[in-house]
């Protein structure tokens, strides 16, 4: 129901909703794309064990979701 309402509102406003798989987005480094469960140190802490990038885990997930959405959009 949430996605239906979101798509309705975006269509009404002239926007677009792109659904992406959020799996492992908080375990994947947005800098080097290294994915590992140990990158997610705690509920809120992300530290890439490959390149050392660190940030809030939710922020990292949002960056990866945005990138996946952009890649989906580029494939259209």
pLDDT digits (tens, 9 = 90+) for 6-37: 999 999 999 989 999 999 999 999 999 999 99
With contact defined as beta carbons under 8 Å apart, do 72 and 18 qualify? yes
* pLDDT at residue 37 in the model: 96
Task: Give the chain's domain count.
Answer: 1
Confidence category of residue 75, pLDDT binned at 50, 70, 90: confident
Q: What is 43-61 written as a DSSP string? A: SSEEE-TTT--EEEHHHHH
pTM of the entire predicted model: 0.84
- Asked if the structure places residue 2 within a domain, the reply is no
- Asked if the structure places residue 66 within a domain, the reply is yes
- Asked if the structure places residue 10 within a domain, the reply is no
- Asked if the structure places residue 27 within a domain, the reply is yes
- Asked if the structure places residue 4 within a domain, the reply is no
Compute and round to an integer the Cα radius of gyration of the chain. 15
Q: What is the rounded distance in angstroms from the CA atom of residue 42 to the CA atom of residue 14? A: 39
- Asked if the structure places residue 13 within a domain, the reply is no
Where helices occur in 1-76 by DSSP H, the ranges are 2-13, 57-75
- Asked if the structure places residue 48 within a domain, the reply is yes
């Amino acid at each position: 129901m949430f996605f239906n309402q979101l798509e309705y509102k975006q269509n009404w406003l002239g926007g677009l909703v792109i659904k992406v798989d959020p799996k492992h987005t908080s375990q994947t480094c947005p800098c080097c794309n290294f994915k590992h469960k140990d990158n997610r140190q705690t509920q809120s802490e992300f530290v890439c064990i490959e390149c050392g990038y660190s940030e809030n885990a939710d922020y990292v997930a949002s960056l990866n979701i945005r990138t996946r959405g952009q890649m989906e959009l580029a494939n259209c």
